[in-house]
Each structure stands twice: as C-alpha cells, then as structure tokens.
Amino acid sequence: MTVPGLKLVIQKEPPEYKDIFQYLIKNYEDPGKGTEMEKFWVNDLEEGQYPRLEGPVSEEKVHFGSPEEAARTIEEFAIAAGADMIGFTEVTDEIIFKGATVNGKYAISIGFQMNIEAISKAPGPPTGIEALRAYWRLGSIILKVSQFIRSMGYQAQGHQVRTFIKDPPTVLNSLAAVNAGLGEVGRLGLLITPRFGPRVRLGTITTELELPDNGERPFGVDEFCSHCTICADECVGEAIPMEKSLERGHMKYTIDPYKCLTEFAKYDGCGVCISVCPFNRPENEMEWFLEGVRKMVKGYP
C-alpha cells in the first residue's frame, strides 16, 4: 500500500523480494503533504495503534466450555467492534514471516471490507486513502478484540500490516485468512472472499486461548482464475503473472511487488486489479454471481 503524503523514490536496482519492507522504508520520504485526516491516520497507526498491539493480561481467567464457545464469544465481540469477517486457525510456520516470532498457538483472522465506490476510482488517490482508512479501522478493531481477550485472562497479540513503519512484519495475513476459511488467494495476489471478493483488508491476532481450526474453505477461485486473466491484462504495472511459480513450497501466483508499488506510488493509490476482478461486486450480488459461476465452471463447489 502507499500512504498519501508519503512519496516513494524508486531505486534503480531493487533488492531481493525478501527485503521488500526495508526497500519500502528506505525509499519513503514524507514531504508533509496529505489532508489532516490522512496525517492523523498515519500518525495514529504508528504512534497510537502499533505500540498497543500487546498489553497486560488480567489475572482472572474466564473459563470456556469448549474452543468453539470461546470462538463464538470472540466472534460476537469482533462483529460488534466493526469486523466484517472473522475466522480461526492454528499458528504454523507457514503463516509467520521468516525470522519473526509471535506469541500464542492460535490465530484469529479478521477482515474489513473496503468501500466499493472508492475502489472503482482506481488508479488514483481515492484508493490510496481508502486503503489507509481501512487499515486504520482494522487496527482499531484488532486492538479492541485483543484487549478483550487479555481482559479474560489470556495473552493476545495483534498483527497489522507493517509496510511503512520500521518494525518488521510478523504474520502473513492472507495465508492466515486462507487457513481460517475466509477465502482463497487469487491471481491478483490478494485474498478473494465469498462476501466481498478481493475488496478486504486483513489483520491477525495470535493468542494462547484455545480456539478451533476452521480449515481452508475453497470456493472455486483457483479454478476460476485459471480461466480468467482480467487482472493481469488490466494491471497498470504489468505486475500480475500469467503463470504460477513456486513460492514457500506452493505453486501460486506471485505479483511483482516492485512493479506494483511503483505504480501505487505514481498514482497515489491503485487497486485496478481489485476493481476489475469479477468477484468484486456488492455483497447483495455475490450469491447470485456465485450461482452463475457454479453453473459455468466444471467442478465448482
């Protein structure tokens, strides 16, 4: 993502993919632009939210009858706090960035939908602003839910996107979301969900509170993407591949982050791939759309 008011100065020779976050941090400079609200969001993410992703745990423990009961309690609280999607899984090496450590054996994946009208204006500042707004709202939800868990006597650690602050990232939020049953990663490199398509931003909470594992819930995205190349054809940075490649032991579509971020910075926001994806449609059209896909695509679940 880009942050309105921050300017990306592209190096001639980008480093290896693993250094993407260092690359971003080194190349952003703040020319002091952006609206007051955007500046507030950036400042609150960095100064207000990130330092509170962990905190003190109550000495009094609430005991649940089962992991499912604990999950229902957390889901109810998270939805009331503003989450649009929530799922549960276990912490595995697969969802942790190499070299990072997280607290807790269980993971809660939380999704927050982006505004469809803002996304339809891609590429341009409305999409950059919307991404920032969504991450700020998502951060406030993650803080509330993790504090709620700690107030019940269990350690909980929030994990938000960290592409523009100096702390290294910890959890691969999209993979955690896949394992928690929220959707599938499509050709455009983002999670595609059955409710909002690819129009969601993701965060994760890890905790010691025992929770169930929803498991993957594929709903035909991989099959659909094998017949569709709209996002790759329309990508303004030619960053989306036609073929899958081997990544962390899995064959997957891997977007070129340098090409993508260059365009994102150039336009002060992108998301053309999200806006043109056939799965990007209003929530009340999704079931109708999925019904049509089920009839058209052989083997569609």
Q: Which of 222, 241, 246 lies closest to 231, judged by CA?
A: 241
From candidates 1, 24, 42, 255, binder to ligand SF4 by CB under 6 A: 255
Instruction: Give the torsion sign (CA, 123, 127, 132, 138).
Output: negative
Contact status, residue 271 vs residue 131, Cβ threshold 8 Å: yes
Contact window for ligand SF4 (CB under 6 A) among 30-38, 81-89, 212-220, 235-243: 235-243
Query: Considering the rule CB under 6 A, would residue 271 count as an interface residue with ligand SF4?
Result: yes
Contact status, residue 290 vs residue 242, Cβ threshold 8 Å: no
CB of 229 to ligand SF4, least distance (A): 6
Residue type present at position 300: Y
CB of 292 to ligand SF4, least distance (A): 13
From candidates 228, 290, 293, 297, binder to ligand SF4 by CB under 6 A: 228
Q: How many helices (H) and strands (E) does the chain have?
A: 11, 10
Which residue lies nearer to ligand SF4 by CB, 183 or 212? 183
Contact window for ligand SF4 (CB under 6 A) among 3-11, 58-66, 176-184, 263-271: 263-271
Q: What's the rounded Cα separation, in Å, for the pair 272 and 37?
A: 24
Degrees (nearest 5) of the Cα angle 30, 35, 37?
A: 105
Instruction: Give the torsion sign (CA, 178, 120, 131, 250).
Output: positive
Q: What's the rounded Cα separation, in Å, for the pair 167 and 158?
A: 13
Which residue lies nearer to ligand SF4 by CB, 150 or 187? 187
Query: Considering the rule CB under 6 A, would residue 183 count as an interface residue with ligand SF4?
Result: no
Query: Considering the rule CB under 6 A, would residue 199 count as an interface residue with ligand SF4?
Result: no
- 12 DSSP assignment: S
How many residues bind ligand SF4 (CB under 6 A)? The answer is 26
CB of 254 to ligand SF4, least distance (A): 11
Query: Considering the rule CB under 6 A, would residue 187 count as an interface residue with ligand SF4?
Result: yes
Which residue lies nearer to ligand SF4 by CB, 81 or 228? 228
Q: What's the rounded Cα separation, in Å, for the pair 145 and 161?
A: 16
- Surface-to-core class of residue 258, CB atoms within 10 Å of its CB (0-12 exposed, 13-18 middle, 19+ buried): middle
Q: Which of 57, 59, 88, 42 lies closest to 205, judged by CA?
A: 88
Contact window for ligand SF4 (CB under 6 A) among 84-92, 97-105, 210-218, 277-285: 277-285
Which residue lies nearer to ligand SF4 by CB, 158 or 186? 186
Which residue lies nearer to ligand SF4 by CB, 96 or 175? 175
From candidates 186, 194, 203, 212, binder to ligand SF4 by CB under 6 A: 186
Return residues touching ligand SF4 (CB under 6 A). Answer: 186-188, 224-225, 228-231, 235-237, 239-240, 255, 260, 263-264, 270-273, 276-279
